[in-house]
Amino acid sequence: MSKEIKIGTRESQLALWQANKVKDLLEAQGYTAVLVPIKSEGDIDLVTPLYEIGVQGIFTKSLDIALLNGKIDIAVHSLKDVPTQLPTGIIQGAVLERGPVKDLLVYKTDTTFLEQPDYIANIATSSVRRKAQWLHKFPLHHLHNLRGNVNTRLQKLANENWDGAIFAAAGLERINVRPATSVELDWMLPAPAQGAVVSVCRENDDYCRQALEALNDIPTALCTRIERDFLRALMGGCTTPISAHATIKDGKVHFNGELCSLNGDKLLKTAAISPLETAAEIGNNAAKTILQNGGDEIVAQIKNAR
């Protein structure tokens, strides 16, 4: 049996790029697929910071509903936007091979201000994680909210009197809008699953499950699962000051995780290297270590601030 697979996607240029990528990969496997753009609440209100909207999975909810209604057959997301707990009846069908993982600073004129200890820079980001990490490193700097899709955020940076704004490299590079005035933040540990694209489908849809299985990149699926286990075991959600990155080198998983207080005054780090055979528990164990070393208090503080 063959049918046309309806791929639900958000309407931003980045979301469309990611959905088209899944479409191309499905077509290369002999499947037929069509894009179905769907508006998400996260794209309609472009002003309120996500942590104030307070809805889990703001970017994924509309697509989840369309999927469960049968309006679409699969949905494509940035995995870092997907809550660690998927809705009942929806499963992770495929994680594509990972793209760029790091965060970038897009700066206005130059980056010499980063070396000037007394300079009070104005930096834009609405991510609680990036704010916390930035303040940990530059406690005197002023942070400004910056919402919207990648293109709107770049435009806003151009119009405002800020020194720079923080973006995921993946978001800018995929749609070819990374400015020359940008530098990789090698010290900033990324969000769990940053740079990875996921496609979900209905649990009872064997046709799409099989189609997506061929697209699943096993190393990326393993690394992002470890990173998301760490996130889930600490506190779940996608608007948290939690960072994690796992890579595979010479048959071993190298993991780094961080939990930061909201204002950046406390930062807990953990690192682990495990053989692939025992990789499954890395994320959960790293979270335990963090919680036992004062992380429980930071998590309680973060929850109280909501």
Ligand X SMILES: NCc1[nH]cc(CCC(=O)O)c1CC(=O)O
Q: Write out the chain in H/E/C secondary structure.
A: CCCEEEEEECCCHHHHHHHHHHHHHHHHCCCEEEEEECCCHHHHCCCCCHHHHCCCCCCCHHHHHHHHHCCCCEEEEEHHHCCCCCCCCEEEEEECCCCCCCEEEEECCCCHHHHCCCCCCEEECCCHHHHHHHHHHCCCCEEECCCCCHHHHHHHHHHCCCCEEEEEHHHHHHCCCCCCCEEECCCCCCCCCCCCEEEEEECCCHHHHHHHHCCCCHHHHHHHHHHHHHHHHHCCCCCCCEEEEEEEECCEEEEEEEEECCCCCCEEEEEEEEEHHHHHHHHHHHHHHHHHHHHHHHHHHHHHCC
170 is an interface residue for ligand X by CB under 6 A: yes
Instruction: Considering only the stretches 78-86, 136-144, 203-211, 271-279, report the one whose residues sit in contact with ligand X under the rule CB under 6 A.
Output: 78-86
Of positions 73, 81, 205, 258, contacts ligand X by CB under 6 A: 81
- Residue 228 is a binding residue for ligand X (CB under 6 A): no
- Active site includes 81? yes
Window contacting ligand X (CB under 6 A); options: 168-176, 180-188, 220-228, 229-237: 168-176
**CA–CA separation, 285 vs 282, rounded Å?**
5
Closest distance of CB 259 from ligand X, Å? 19
Confirm or reject binding of residue 182 to ligand X (CB under 6 A): no
Q: Is 78 among the residues that bind ligand X (CB under 6 A)?
A: yes
Between strands 122-124 and 4-9, the pairing is unpaired
The stretch among 1-9, 62-70, 164-172, 258-266 that binds ligand X (CB under 6 A) is: 164-172
Question: At its nearest, how many Å lie between ligand X and the CB of residue 52?
Answer: 15
Taking CB under 6 A as the criterion, the residue among 93, 171, 257, 264 binding ligand X is: 171
Residue 150 Cβ vs ligand X, minimum distance, rounded to whole Å: 6
Q: Whose Cβ is closer to ligand X: residue 64's or residue 81's?
A: 81
State the nearest-atom distance from the C-beta of 249 to ligand X, in Å: 21
Q: Please tell me whether residue 19 binds ligand X under the rule CB under 6 A.
A: no
Cβ proximity to ligand X: between 167 and 255 the closer is 167
Q: Which of 43, 64, 73, 81 is catalytic?
A: 81
Q: Which stretch binds ligand X (CB under 6 A): 86-94, 167-175, 220-228, 286-294?
A: 167-175
Interface contacts to ligand X, rule CB under 6 A: 78, 80-81, 150, 167-168, 170-171, 194-195
Residues with catalytic function: 81
